[in-house]
Amino acid sequence: MKISKVKLTAVGVPRHTGFVNKHVIVQLETDEGAVGIGEMSDFSHLPRYSVDMKDLEATLDSILIGKNPFDTADINRELDLNFPQALYYYEKGSFIRNGVDTALYDVCSKYLGVSMSDLLGGRQREKFKVCYPIFRHRFMDEVDENIEIVRNRLEQGFDTFRLYVGKNVDADEAFLDRVYSEFAGKVTIKSLDFSHLLDWKDALRATKRLSKYHFELVESPAFWNDFEGLNHFRLQCEFPVSEHVWSPRQQYEMIKKDSVDIFNIAPVFIGGLTAARKAAYAAEVAGKSVLIGTTQELSIGTSAMAHFGSALPHLNYTSDPTGPELYIDDIVTDKIQYENGFLRLPDRKIAGIGVDLDWNKIEKYRVPDLSWGDVSVHQLQDRTSQTRG
């Protein structure tokens, strides 16, 4: 089996906040009729440069056409050379590698007639716990809005939440106080997520201030790649510390400096399922826990992460992939399913990734390119509409 065609399609799907995220659907066609799909998720991230779709498709043609999709190791090495790691959280080369790698696993598992999870080591679980994100408070009046989100999502079965913090700690504290007075015993705050917004000393002060409220862990409480700062924070913090993995070198430094308790692994940030599996194995060897992170993918990317998570023996913290619930729509015929706060895997009898493209919806949300339009930095960071910018 050889790859015969690469097709990329850009879509812009609005979130419930009004912010439009742009993603790229990847299709890899083969000479034996099998077609794999992947998702280059959420290009609407800083830094504000966009990828040229026509050029990217031509580049991937030169790399992939004629290759056996089962040669995932060799293909990933070539992708690494063409889209090198930059030790940066939102490196768009990682998004590109992730979309291609997902499509490789999809086409291979479809060719074999097995679920993608079977190529990733087999299922150890049919579902795993996830949390719903509460985005960062900039203004005190956003507390009421976020409490209403908790109220509505709790009715839908989501009882665990991840709180982005650090921009307005007064509002963060007011929100937590409201949560534990109104939803006592019904809601869990999984983490305070600083998202590298503060240096470790400021993050530690904020964490200590908020520590009278119950939460399970603290995430990204230092500037990115500040491994010593993470270590200082961890030694002085009573809660487990988590950080995303965005390159093997960065993960090595975190292990070497003993900077974290939990590795947050998302294929989109490390460049695909192949790289994510390596990161998970490294975490296991280092005696660290794992949770699955997110950039708020659509159902294709989320389904790939569900398959990945199903095979991990040490997935022992609540994970993050609830992206499909944040958008007003999706581009597949049947969205990935959530049940009582758990992400459910697609039926194991379905070969491949387990979701199918809906071309009517793709045409509805198709965009000509990945350009930015008129958005502010605050909108990019907090995924708000222009009216809140």
Active site residues: 90, 164
Cis omega (within 30 of 0) for bond into 47: yes
Cβ(318)–Cβ(216) under 8 Å?
A: yes
- Whose tokens are 């509505």? That residue is 152
The residues, any chain, with a CB within 8 Å of residue 355's CB and separated by 6 or more, are 299, 300, 303, 332, 333, 334, 335, 336, 346
- Would you say 242 and 217 are in contact if contact means Cβ atoms under 8 Å apart? yes
Please provide the DSSP assignment of 241-264 as one string.
EEEE---HHHHHHHHHTT--SEEE
Question: Residue by residue, what is the 3-state secondary structure of 92-143?
Answer: HHHHHHHHHHHHHHHHHHHHHCCEHHHHCCCCCCCEEEECEEECCCCCCCHH
Hey, which residues does 344 pair with through a beta bridge? Answer: 127
Q: Give the closest residue to 312 by CA, choosing from 348, 282, 356, 338.
A: 282
* Cα–Cα dist 259/142, whole Å: 33
Instruction: Read off φ and ψ for residue 110, nearest 5 degrees.
Output: -65, -40
Name the one residue in this structure whose structure tokens are 């998004």.
95
Interatomic CA distance for residues 350 and 348, integer angstroms:
5
For residue 196, the 8-state DSSP code is T
3-state secondary structure of 35: strand
